[in-house]
């Protein structure tokens, strides 16, 4: 698991909001909890909220009243940032001047010395990612493949090359 302690040092006692409690949101919570970062979690799906509560998470709506308590909002990939329209929590955060980010950005902030390759685009990302991972492993590199393919980025081995 990726150590978010450097993030804790930056935000102090402020909380982070985690919106979207699927394959990336819950690992953000686990990594944040391990680093001593207080979190408030939310998902529009009641089953996802119940699962997070079973994990010991504080689950509560993110509102105009509590958004100011947050150092940042970590948005899962499936939660709309802009398209087709921003999720209401994104709009709240923007109005309050609270940063909206994602798990990949958190990874980049705390794993500054880790060589990474980011692959974007519309089609072929998973195939390209798997192929690059295979090539680098075949070349003898200690490689982890994750993010929006396979493992959530914050569950990867922090000592891997990628």
> For 146-161, how does the pLDDT look when each residue is reduced to its tens digit (9 = 90+)?
987 889 999 999 888 6
Give the β-pairing of 15-19 and 39-42.
parallel
* Radius of gyration, alpha carbons of the chain: 16
DSSP string, 39-59: EEEE-SSHHHHHHHHHTT--B
What is the C-alpha separation between 36 and 33, in angstroms, rounded? 5
State the sign of the Cα–Cα–Cα–Cα dihedral 143, 145, 151, 156: positive
Phi first, then psi, for residue 119 (nearest 5°) are -120, 125
Over residues 69-119, the pLDDT tens digits come to 999 999 999 999 999 999 999 999 999 999 999 999 999 999 988 888 999
- Do 22 and 49 touch, CB atoms closer than 8 A? no
C-alpha–C-alpha distance, residues 29 and 154, integer Å: 10
On the question of pLDDT at 162 being above 70, the answer is no
104 Cα distance to chain centroid: 6
pLDDT (mean) for 128-157:
92
H-state helical runs in 3-160: 5-11, 25-34, 46-54, 88-96, 103-110, 125-138
Q: Are 137 and 91 in contact (CB under 8 A)?
A: no
């Amino acid at each position: 698991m990726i150590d978010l302690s450097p993030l804790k040092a930056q935000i102090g006692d402020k909380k982070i909001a985690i919106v979207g409690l699927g394959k990336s949101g819950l690992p953000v919570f686990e990594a944040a909890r391990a680093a001593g970062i207080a979190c408030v979690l939310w998902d529009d799906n009641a089953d996802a909220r119940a699962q997070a509560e079973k994990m010991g998470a504080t689950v509560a709506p993110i509102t105009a009243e509590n958004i100011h308590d947050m150092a940042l909002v970590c948005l899962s990939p499936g939660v709309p940032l802009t398209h087709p329209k921003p999720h209401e929590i994104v709009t709240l955060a923007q109005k309050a001047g609270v940063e909206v980010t994602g798990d990949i950005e958190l990874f980049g902030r705390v794993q500054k010395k880790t060589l990474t390759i980011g692959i974007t685009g519309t089609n072929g990302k998973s195939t390209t990612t798997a192929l690059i991972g295979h090539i680098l492993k075949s070349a003898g590199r200690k490689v982890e493949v994750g993010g929006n393919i396979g493992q959530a980025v914050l569950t990867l081995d922090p000592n891997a090359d990628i």
